[in-house]
Copies of this chain bind each other. A is one copy, B any other.
């Protein structure tokens, strides 16, 4: 039994992952109104029936896609920690990468879901708790990445500002490529952040 069930479960997991990946791409490209279970199934190369086996409604698909985007963002943030050089330029490298993560496809899909939820009463109550969870996790990861001591007055708000700035820069990258300007702002932000966290930008 076991040997037969496992490949089937694996195939099911792979199908689900393909659908979520297609949902994120579809949201980023066509927005929430253009993202239906049917459109996502087609993009994923999965039959509509198989897609509906995984996600009964559009809202179910959105919620799962948001979770998957959030995981992508958080994973991106965690990767920062591992790959960053110690010593000179660490804070700057960290800020540049953090801002770049929030300017990628996952965040653009999340933006579409966010603004979609603002105008969709069915979606709104389902997106709010996800947004809060992702906000908390992104904050916790940023505190860890930056090695910030939140018991120092102002440090918690500085970390929050870093993430809100990252979201604002993600928005600025939605219609045109804003990379050059974003990197200039990241360099300046690294100087201010390093000073606020009690370290130089190269600490």
Contacts and interface: CB of A to CB of B under 8 A. Distances in A.
Interface of A: 28-31, 33-34, 108, 111-112, 114-120, 124, 127-128, 131, 135, 154, 157-158, 160-161, 163-172, 174-176, 181, 184-185, 187-189, 191-192, 195-196
Given A119-B29, A181-B160, A114 B174 contact: yes
Contact of A164 (B131, B135, B169): B169
Nearest to A176: B128
Contacts of A170: 168
Contacts of A31: 33, 115-116, 118-120
A131 to B, nearest CB: 6
Contact of A185 (B128, B161, B191, B195): B161
Contacts of A28: 118
A127 B164 CA distance: 23
Contact of A168 (B154, B168, B191): B168
